[in-house]
Structure 1
Amino acid sequence: MSNPTTTVNLAFTGASGAQYGLRLLECLLAAGCRVHLMVSRAAQVVIATETDFKLPGAPKAMAVALTEHFQAQPQQLLVFGREDWFAPPASGSGEPAPLVVCPCSTGTLSALATGASNNLIERAGDVALKERRPLILVPREAPYSELHLENMLKLTRMGATIIPASPGFYHQPQSVADLVDFIVARLLDHLGIDQTLMPKWGESRVAQKLAR
């Protein structure tokens, strides 16, 4: 548990790419992080469609299922309902944790870019922006419309980091899981959390020079 005191707010929304969010959750828990999870209704549909994992609807049951599935520690994972306005991510006076929306639907992009706070995920994003906390958004759409691009530019200018689910291939992936891990490794790097999914660029070159 290399990051035992780190809390990360994590949101799953209805874009395709549920594997990215679930893998990120697995890695955060394995690193010893406390995770405050928010899941949209559309995300539950996508998870059921793209994976064999069926999430219960109630937050408490969802937390139990995910804790058991990923073998997390008791109380390490907390799941908050869509209108739980007393959850820590809902206020700037809550714990100052980063927020990752993975995957991030274009609807969520629009809501965050315009300051909508119609549910806990949108409110959490609004809080992250106004408090200047790290906000990482992982959109997965193709192609992007002009409106999508404008929203991403607007959010970037407000301080958010956009990391599209566009994996690289220079690490010679052998499976879909390798492609997923490429993006998850970048997310963990941006969060400052130790990861061994992907070597840092240039590490092998540094090792060669040090060995001489």
Structure 2
Amino acid sequence: MGKRRLIVGISGASGAAYGLRALDLAKAADVETHLVVSRSALLTLKQELNLQKTDIEKRADVVHSPADIGATIASGSFRTMGMLIAPCSVKTMSEIATGVTSTLMSRAADVALKERRRLVLMLRETPLHLGHIETMAALTRMGAILMPPVPALYARPKSIDEMITHSTARALDLFDIDTGAIRRWNGLKDSLAGETA
């Protein structure tokens, strides 16, 4: 494929920091990033991180307007490793599941599915009703991976930043992008193993 390329979508769900961390970690791993940010996500980024559009865009190699359905990433002939949407709102998830590709974000996700490329959705919603669960099941049958950003407390994170890094690096693992940013599980420590026996 040549240059490794990853599409990163940031939708309007809470947790915009996951998308930003994905851009930074992918860049450090020498992966070319193609970014799509929804209009709702710009509000979330301002509210949660006090960031402007330009602050986000400079972290990506290529930035696409969510309205640009003629962008390179809207075509299966443009080769990528797939797409990560971090965070993924229920609205975006539902558009992808139904094939209603009204924006470049949902169109790029649809392309990933039809080309049998990896699509990872870091869904940010809780609690879930049956409609959410059925939509998640439908997407799983279509080939997507649903990966809510659940903190790995066994890693004993010392900050929110560490939790964000761990979840995002694990999502990038699904694309075979090893960021070197997380401590891998090496089994229970001897002292803990004795206590659980």
TM-score (normalizing by structure 2): 0.89
Q: Does 1:111 align with 2:109?
A: no
Q: 1:162 is aligned with what amino acid?
A: L
Q: Percent identity, please.
A: 38
Name 1:200's counterpart in structure 2.
Answer: 184
Q: String of CA shifts for 1:39-78, please: whole Å, max 9, x gaps.
A: 000000000000021114xxxx963xx24xxxxxxxx611
SS in 1 for 2:155: coil
CA distance in 1, matches of 2:180, 2:99: 36
**105, 110, 114: which one pairs with 1:121?**
105
CA distance in 1, matches of 2:76, 2:3: 19
**39, 42, 47: which one pairs with 1:41?**
39
Q: CA deviation at 1:30?
A: 1.5
Name 2:21's counterpart in structure 1.
Answer: 23
How many positions carry a matched residue from both structures? 188
**94, 119, 123: which one pairs with 1:135?**
119
Structure 1 stretches of 4+ moved >3 Å: none
Q: 1:41 is aligned with what amino acid?
A: R
CA distance in 2, matches of 1:163, 1:202: 22
Q: CA RMSD in A?
A: 1.9
Q: CA deviation at 1:123?
A: 0.5
SS in 2 for 1:9: strand
Name 1:176's counterpart in structure 2.
Answer: 160
Q: CA deviation at 1:144?
A: 1.1
Q: Does 1:14 align with 2:16?
A: no
Q: 2:73 is aligned with what amino acid?
A: P
**124, 143, 146: which one pairs with 1:162?**
146
Gaps of 5+ in 2: 190-197
CA distance in 2, matches of 1:52, 1:83: 24
